[in-house]
Amino acid sequence: MKPKLRIGAAAGLAAALAIAAPPGAAQGTAYPVKPIRMIVASGAGGGLDFVARLVAIPLSEALGQSVVVDNRAGASGSIAAELASRAAPDGYTLMMLSASLVVYGIVTKTPYDLYRDFDPLSQVAASPYILTVHPSLPVKSVAELIAYAKANPAKLNFASTGNASLAHLAGELFASSTGTKLVHVPYKGVGAALTDLLSGQVQMSFLSGGSVYSQVRVQRLRALAIASTTRAKMAPELPTLIEAGVPGYAVTQWHGLLVPRGTPRAVIDRLHKEIAKAVHRPEVTSRLALDGTDGIASSPQEFAAHLRSERERWTKVAKAANISSH
């Protein structure tokens, strides 16, 4: 078992959820009375992990308890979800997930049901994907990339965060939308994918701005376009993929928090209140903005609706692209 990263209150960091709560906490009357464990559905170093730790700082301070950040990478977050689904619904286990987990559940039979076994807390952040390439690739625009890919079929590799992840689906959608043939290379999380992308072992990727834009700024990666409907404030010179000639192409990586189904409503309300405050703190929003990520503090009901909408959208895309988890 991987050692858990403990973040002490002295460092100002906290997190989410342990396992058993005393009866008073279960009733929401004395919550929280011990550290909270936050299971993060990715490895350390990626955009999801960054957002989790950034939000954990003010959340810890507000709740007066330390955080245990538990990174569980693999299977597009499914390993984390299975673990979290078995936790006691007492407010001492949270799960930070990304859109990839929704996609994975569409194409894979899992031992948990994201919509049956969890209660939504809040969407926390959203970051549009950026199409990036290694600087050694002789292309400087989306048009040049498409032309190069057509001239070299099945010779361009794109990195993803796992089979049936959102990054996988984004790459396959790009290939089908542009009539190109790309080779998918899955990794166990953003950190591993970035390592090989930066070294040139793979040539391109579709990953969130929060994961890759710091590398674009120092010119270790070349950004060609952003997968949003409008240009990003962080890089207004960067065209959208729609502007660059790929009609309707928009992919956003979002992050959010869930708790095991049956968590007391009073505990959910308290957690949501403090999460919303954390996301809206100036130091959090400004840090997120550096990487083109927007802080979002939706209500549990709004996040539930968003999860349903995402499932409907990506089910159609996955079927059209014939994407499976194998």
User: Would residue 239 count as lying in a domain?
Assistant: no
Query: Where a domain ends, among 180, 208, 226?
Result: 226
More confident residue, 207 or 209: 207
User: Would residue 187 count as lying in a domain?
Assistant: yes
CB-based burial of residue 131 (10 Å sphere; 0-12 exposed, 13-18 middle, 19+ buried)?
Answer: buried
User: Would residue 231 count as lying in a domain?
Assistant: no
3-state secondary structure 132-186: EECCCCCCCCHHHHHHHHHHCCCCCEEEECCCCCHHHHHHHHHHHHHCCCCEEEE
Residue 64 and residue 142 in one domain = no
Q: Residue 209: which domain range?
A: 128-226
d(Cα 164, Cα 106) in Å, to the nearest integer?
Answer: 9
Does 15 have pLDDT greater than 60?
A: no
Predicted pLDDT of residue 233: 81
Give the domain CATH number at 196: 3.40.190.10
d(Cα 116, Cα 318) in Å, to the nearest integer?
Answer: 22
The mean pLDDT value for 34-51 works out to 89
Does 121 have pLDDT greater than 70?
A: yes
d(Cα 2, Cα 27) in Å, to the nearest integer?
Answer: 32
Residue 171 and residue 258 in one domain = no
User: Would residue 242 count as lying in a domain?
Assistant: no
d(Cα 169, Cα 174) in Å, to the nearest integer?
Answer: 9
More confident residue, 199 or 208: 199
d(Cα 177, Cα 248) in Å, to the nearest integer?
Answer: 9
Residue 122 and residue 132 in one domain = no
pLDDT (tens digit, 9 = 90+) per residue, 214-235? Answer: 899 899 999 999 999 998 887 8
User: Would residue 241 count as lying in a domain?
Assistant: no
Give the domain CATH number at 12: 3.40.190.150
pLDDT (tens digit, 9 = 90+) per residue, 254-265? Answer: 999 999 999 999
Residue 154 and residue 135 in one domain = yes
User: Would residue 182 count as lying in a domain?
Assistant: yes
Contacts of 269 (CB under 8 A, 6+ apart): none
Residue 72 and residue 218 in one domain = no
Residue 57 and residue 199 in one domain = no
Number of domains in the chain: 2
Record the tokens describing residue 255, joined without a space.
């992050």
User: Would residue 234 count as lying in a domain?
Assistant: no
Does 133 have pLDDT greater than 70?
A: yes
d(Cα 9, Cα 5) in Å, to the nearest integer?
Answer: 13
Residue 136 and residue 122 in one domain = no
Residue 15 and residue 115 in one domain = yes
User: Would residue 240 count as lying in a domain?
Assistant: no
Residue 95 and residue 26 in one domain = yes
Does 16 have pLDDT greater than 50?
A: no
Does 24 have pLDDT greater than 80?
A: no
Average pLDDT in the chain = 87
Residue 100 and residue 15 in one domain = yes
Cis omega (within 30 of 0) on the bond before 32?
yes
More confident residue, 270 or 69: 270
Label residue 266 left, alpha or beta by phi (over 0 means left) and psi (-120 to 50 means alpha): alpha
pLDDT (tens digit, 9 = 90+) per residue, 157-180? Answer: 999 988 888 898 899 899 989 999
Residue 18 and residue 121 in one domain = yes
Residue at 126: amino acid letter: A
More confident residue, 108 or 159: 159
More confident residue, 46 or 219: 219
Query: Where a domain ends, among 211, 226, 241?
Result: 226
Predicted pLDDT of residue 132: 97
The mean pLDDT value for 181-195 works out to 90
Predicted pLDDT of residue 322: 79
Residue 58 and residue 164 in one domain = no
Contacts of 4 (CB under 8 A, 6+ apart): 68, 69, 70
